[in-house]
A and B are shown apart, each in its own frame.
Chain A
Amino acid sequence: MTRLRSLLLMAPSLLTIGIFMAVPMLVALAYSFMTSSPYGGVQMPFSVGAYIQILYDEDFDGTLAFTTDYLMIIGRSVVLAGLTTAACLAVAFPTAWFIVCRAPRQRQLLLFLVSLPFWINTLIRTYCWVLLLRDEGLVNHLLEGAGVTDEPVTLLYNDGAILLGLIYTFLPFMVLPIYSTLERVDHRLIEAAYDLYANRRLVFRRILWPLARPGVAAGALLVFAPALGSFLAPDLLGGGRKLLIGSLIQLEFTSGRNWPFGSAIAVLVSTGVLIAMLIQARRGRPPSELHA
């Protein structure tokens, strides 16, 4: 009776998760084990060819040759997403702490400012960076105006521009969870640490950082996962010159017409992120002693 009730009560959230998360992932999983049809879409028979294709090139005569092409793309994406996460963390932690230290009313305003970008479409915001960074853009105008350069500096269509775009896009996802953990840290713990002869650096390392870690972990995941699969910033700011996972998947589903291969890469990335989440959930449970 009560079990039925609790099941019924959980049904809406279970359905939501099921429909919006599990089903698409299962579809992707199924597609990744099928064969591509020449006009896009998938067809039978089942095959693991898509996964083999990640590591091996198939010549016309059917022999397989090991290739690092796709591994390079995955590696580049991981590095870029990692750098994005690190940079976001470096900016977000002080930002979150700054906000926590303000008076409550100022905090509301600052939090609103942090979440302001959510109100504007990501495509538009990313495109604004193109306008800012292009040769005739605002940044180059300013640089020339200030006499720093005579020629426009190429700021767009390189990894730096992609990184900038990614950091910009995902920064709020790091600030908000860190803020929410820091906000709950009792101020007297910090006073107690100072009282017991800790200096600023040690207060950060021994008190603030360990107590903020759940927020940092959540933020890292919220930034890393979408940064890994993003294709807007790489496409617009990187000019799509060098492929990243996101643009690769998109390509395979559109002009590449190789849905199984696109799905296989998507499954691979999702699995990686899922494993990271599981590890995080494990470690995150009891607040653990962080030093011997």
Chain B
Amino acid sequence: MTTVSARPAPQAARSYLKAPGAAASTEPLVAIRGVSMSFGPVKALIDINLDIENHEFLTLLGPSGCGKTTLLRLLGGFEHPTAGEIRLNGQDVAPLPPQQRPINTVFQNYALFPHMTVAGNVGFGLEMSGWRKPDIAGRVEQMLAMVRLADYGNRRPDQLSGGQQQRVALARALAPSPQLLLLDEPLSALDQKLRKEMQIELKRLQKESGISFVLVTHDQEEALTMSDRIAVMSAGRILQLGAPAEIYDRPVNRFVAGFIGEANILPAAALGRSGGSVAVRPERVSVVEPGAARHRGTVASIQYLGSDTLLEVDTPAGMQRARVRGSAGYEVGGTVGLDWPGDAEVELQD
């Protein structure tokens, strides 16, 4: 198995690694402090504070237009923040252009150079940062083997399938051993099956290389399966930052609860609790005999999902969903009882 060896960073970026005062052990790889970004009247990002740790897989998750791409472009150096600081190893890089940052990007449409071969593409970053020709050839071979395209060096990008182009883009971005890899919806153009494959592939590459990945997606499943940490964004802000399980089990507000997985939102008063509202995941809800149950309602709809069945139940506290195993004989209009354990209830901030 080939691995991405820890090579010296490209020359263009090397000076920042050795800079005095850099890389105090407590300093994260990237520290984003109070960053705001406006395009004229549009506030794309508002006071973002975020740390990116070494070796981590961080995902920016949020609906369209929430500022994910903008944050990624600030990290890559394609845009510069209107306010705030972006520190890389303790040094403010916010004003630096892309070519002076040891950070590489996998673009959404791959942006492979159409007039160069696959090998030419993968070697481009190495060539630009002053590698010698024989070293480049060796490294390119290694990178192509890593993305399982060993025999494709002489092809042109337009002779590759979407998934293969994706791998070339990955190999090209990883070849110069950046300290941070940025990926903007890299899998959105692939079909479902290929997407699943590439998710595993991406995760493997990240583990093997030890490089920090920041992935942008609006696919919550993708975020949950791949990430070490997820930053959930909405309208230019980060609403919650944490491990996938933490975000799923303890969403801080309605938006996060509804955006990641499904959630029943109930007024706290209906459960005899204080505060605003409470979220309960449909799969934590069990359908029981109406007599003894805490909540009762009539079945409004039944959706058969294969291994599971999703019931919508009309209760006094509003419409609740329950996801149960199998397809046991419920019928629309029937009365059922709903119950869930106390720890399934998550108090929300709003």
Structural contact, A207 and B113, CB atoms closer than 8 A: yes
Pick the most buried of A189, A207, A210: most chain B CB atoms within 10 A of its CB.
Answer: A189
A210 to B116, CA, bound (A): 10
A52 to B81, CA, bound (A): 73
Structural contact, B109 and A196, CB atoms closer than 8 A: no
A254-292 to B contact mask, C-beta < 8 Å, 1/0: 000000000000000000000000000000000111110
Tell me if B193 counts as interface (CB < 8 A to partner A): no
Structural contact, B172 and A196, CB atoms closer than 8 A: yes
- Range, interface on chain B: 20 to 34
Structural contact, B115 and A288, CB atoms closer than 8 A: yes
Nearest CB on B from A216, distance (A): 14
Tell me if B329 counts as interface (CB < 8 A to partner A): no
Nearest CB on B from A33, distance (A): 45
Structural contact, A193 and B120, CB atoms closer than 8 A: no
Contact A290/B115 with A197-B12, A202-B128 known, Cβ cut-off 8 Å: yes
Nearest CB on A from B240, distance (A): 29
Structural contact, A188 and B104, CB atoms closer than 8 A: no
Pick the most buried of B113, B117, B129: most chain A CB atoms within 10 A of its CB.
Answer: B113
A184-199 to B contact mask, C-beta < 8 Å, 1/0: 0010110111111111
- B98 / chain A contacts, CB cutoff of 8 Å: 191, 194-195
Tell me if A211 counts as interface (CB < 8 A to partner B): yes
- B12 / chain A contacts, CB cutoff of 8 Å: 197
- B125 / chain A contacts, CB cutoff of 8 Å: 195-197
A233 to B156, CA, bound (A): 46
- A207 / chain B contacts, CB cutoff of 8 Å: 113
Tell me if B194 counts as interface (CB < 8 A to partner A): no
Nearest CB on A from B174, distance (A): 11
B87-119 to A contact mask, C-beta < 8 Å, 1/0: 000000000011100011101010101111100
Structural contact, B129 and A197, CB atoms closer than 8 A: yes
Closest to A203 in B: B99
- A199 / chain B contacts, CB cutoff of 8 Å: 99, 128
- A189 / chain B contacts, CB cutoff of 8 Å: 111, 113-114
What are 24 A-to-B residue pairs whose CB atoms are below 8 Å? A186-B111, A188-B109, A188-B111, A191-B78, A192-B105, A192-B111, A192-B113, A193-B113, A194-B78, A194-B99, A195-B76, A195-B77, A195-B103, A195-B104, A196-B99, A198-B124, A198-B128, A199-B99, A202-B128, A207-B113, A211-B114, A287-B114, A287-B115, A289-B116
**6 cross-chain pairs, A with B, having the tightest CB-CB distances, nearest first:** A196-B125, A188-B111, A197-B128, A192-B111, A197-B12, A194-B98
